[in-house]
Amino acid sequence: MFGLSVAYAAVQAGARVRVIDPHGVAAGASGGLVGALAPHTPDNWNAKKQFQFDSLILSRSFWPDVEAASGNPTGYTRAGRLQPILQEKQIPLALARADQADKLWQGKATWTVRHSAKDPWSPPSPTGQVIFDDLSAHIHPRQATQALARAVQALGGDVVAKGALQGAVVDATGWDGLRTLSVDMGRDVGNGVKGQAALLDFAAPHQPQLFADGLHIVPHADGTTAIGSTSERDFKHATRVDGQVDDIVAKAKRLYPQLRGADVLERWAGVRPRALTRAPLLGRHPTKDGWFVANGGFKIGFGMAPLAGQVLARLILENTNDIPPDFDAALVLGED
């Protein structure tokens, strides 16, 4: 997703672009099932949260434009997110965050505390209160990745399995790239975290995503609902599913009775790239002249990708650096 986002921004700017993907589009972590485009909480504001906010706002035009260019669906839905408030003591914090959202989200999105509705999709809440924010959206990762690749092609770019490295090279190779970069740097700069998810035969299109107890429940526009994900630091098989995915399905059905009885259509596993900073790594490659890096973005990659692609394309094509210092690969990886 990061590599295609850079390619899309560059080809829109008139550059000649070739994406080399030896494993095929959406073969890795970007070909997953969940697609929760969810913001960090609107407090303790920092550059990472601001960048994410700006990218989520940009997504409102980015993904419809990708659909128009490619002729393919992305699953992008601006339906917001519902979170149950599980304890009374959490209500004041949720209300304080609503006040912060009023100040920080610039009137472009809202965070509200409301009574739990009685409709079947509303999450059960012991306090009778839920949080709703309309900055959150969701997407179908696999469909969106494939649509973005087709959009790059429709605008004149190439997407191929192999080819010569020419011009400015963007290394957007996910967790394998982080491992290689760690070897190049002689120290650990990031790794992979395996995630497992499931797709249910449950239709709730255009409903908000649900989040509670670490689980995302995402109703896709195609009439399926995704559940995820595990976070596994230690694993032997990157793409093999096991009993942990069935555990999260069972947990989701306990939390959300409306999902009971829904069949599992697909189980998926993949490894997400996690930089040690937990923020994306964007910018000039620290060890290779003429190369650039687009990596990291653990759990927030799809939300960050629209703006990440634009700022890195500007750096490459215009030598304009709008990358926050906490994300700038040359700065972050140049530190001991």
pTM for the model: 0.95
pLDDT digit of tens for each residue in the chain (336 aa)? 999 999 999 999 999 999 999 999 999 899 999 999 999 999 999 999 999 999 999 999 999 999 999 999 999 999 999 999 999 999 999 999 999 999 999 999 999 999 998 888 988 899 999 999 999 999 999 999 999 999 999 999 999 999 999 999 999 999 999 999 999 999 999 999 999 999 999 999 999 999 988 999 999 999 999 999 999 999 999 999 999 999 999 999 998 888 999 999 999 999 999 998 888 999 999 999 999 999 998 999 999 999 999 999 999 999 999 999 999 999 998 854
**CA atoms of 329 and 64, how far apart (whole Å):** 30
pLDDT for position 336: 46
CATH of 1-175+276-336, one of 3.50.50.60, 1.10.760.10, 3.40.47.10, 3.30.420.40: 3.50.50.60
Domain segments of the chain: what residues? Answer: 1-175+276-336
pLDDT for position 335: 55
Find where tokens 């992979």 sit: 192
For residues 264 and 230, the answer to whether their CB atoms sit within 8 Å is no
Whether the ω angle into residue 55 lies within 30 degrees of 0, i.e. cis, is no
Residue 227 dihedral angles phi and psi, to the nearest 5°:
-130, 130
pLDDT for position 278: 84
For residues 294 and 170, the answer to whether their CB atoms sit within 8 Å is yes
